[in-house]
């Protein structure tokens, strides 16, 4: 807050009974900042390495990005600061799975290969309550052959500690008939993080025009039918019936 001081409303009252500006002034006077800096002595780390100066930000476009396209019309989220540079713009072959357990098994048994996009669907709020895809991300990041060569795309979620090319919160979710439910084995998935897009650009390993892809997805949607609900009683049944899309926060209407 001291670094951001010139941008803050210093006259707001705080729980100390003093204003924010008065609190920051007190910290300057009582040696708080010097005391904190002393913990770094001998580490080779400077205070500016921990909390950077305002005029020298770590980056200019934040840590996360929202990607949209015909795979995620409602949006999806990627922590691009944790994505290898070579994965910022790639076309991958789709490997869809209808639950996380099946995806993990395929990864651990080496049935997933470099150049593929692992899609885990029906794990959104209505599909399964939107659990964290933690174990799948760990399985990928711990495999040297996959960590920098495949992507994980899901209507589920990740924690802030996720790393690698993992894209979550794909909306609409599969349980609502979102495009992620229509992806088939061998479809071509284009990830363009700089362009903020996530799209299905081909089918059966062959690239298609946008018009052709739209027609293919329309035909698949006409043949698609909702899956039986995973939860049929209790609180989870109530939640999954009333939850909104992942990009809207998964709250209940």
Catalytic residues: 159
CA distance 91 to 182: 18
Q: Are 130 and 177 in contact (CB under 8 A)?
A: no
* Residue pointed to by tokens 């903020």: 196
Count CB atoms within 10 A of the CB of residue 191: 25
Structure-token pair, residue 214: 């739209």
Neighbour tally for 36: CB within 10 Å: 13
- The tokens 């992507």 sit on which residue? 151
H-only helix segments in the chain: 20-29, 32-38, 47-50, 100-108, 125-128, 134-141, 210-223, 234-242
């Amino acid at each position: 807050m001291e670094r951001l001081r010139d941008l803050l409303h210093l006259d707001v009252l705080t729980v100390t009974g003093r204003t924010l500006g008065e609190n920051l002034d007190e910290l300057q006077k009582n040696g708080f900042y010097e005391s904190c800096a002393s913990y770094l002595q001998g580490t080779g780390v400077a205070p500016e390495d921990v909390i950077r100066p305002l005029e020298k930000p770590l980056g200019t476009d934040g840590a996360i990005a929202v990607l949209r396209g015909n795979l995620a019309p409602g949006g999806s989220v990627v922590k691009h600061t944790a994505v290898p540079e070579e994965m910022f713009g790639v076309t991958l072959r789709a490997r869809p799975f209808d639950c996380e357990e099946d995806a993990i098994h395929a990864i651990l048994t080496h049935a997933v290969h470099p150049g593929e996009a692992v899609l885990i669907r029906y794990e959104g709020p209505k599909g399964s309550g939107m659990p964290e895809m933690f174990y799948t991300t760990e399985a990928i990041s711990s495999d040297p052959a996959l960590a920098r060569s495949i992507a994980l795309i899901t209507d589920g979620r990740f924690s802030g500690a996720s790393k690698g090319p993992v894209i979550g919160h794909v909306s609409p979710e599969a349980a609502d008939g979102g495009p992620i439910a229509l992806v088939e084995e061998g479809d071509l998935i284009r990830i363009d993080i700089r362009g903020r897009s996530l799209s299905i650009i081909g089918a059966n390993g062959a690239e298609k025009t946008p018009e052709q892809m739209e027609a293919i997805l329309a035909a698949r949607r006409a043949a698609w039918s909702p899956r039986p609900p995973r939860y049929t009683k209790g609180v989870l049944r109530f939640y999954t019936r009333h939850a909104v899309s992942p990009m809207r926060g998964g709250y209940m209407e």
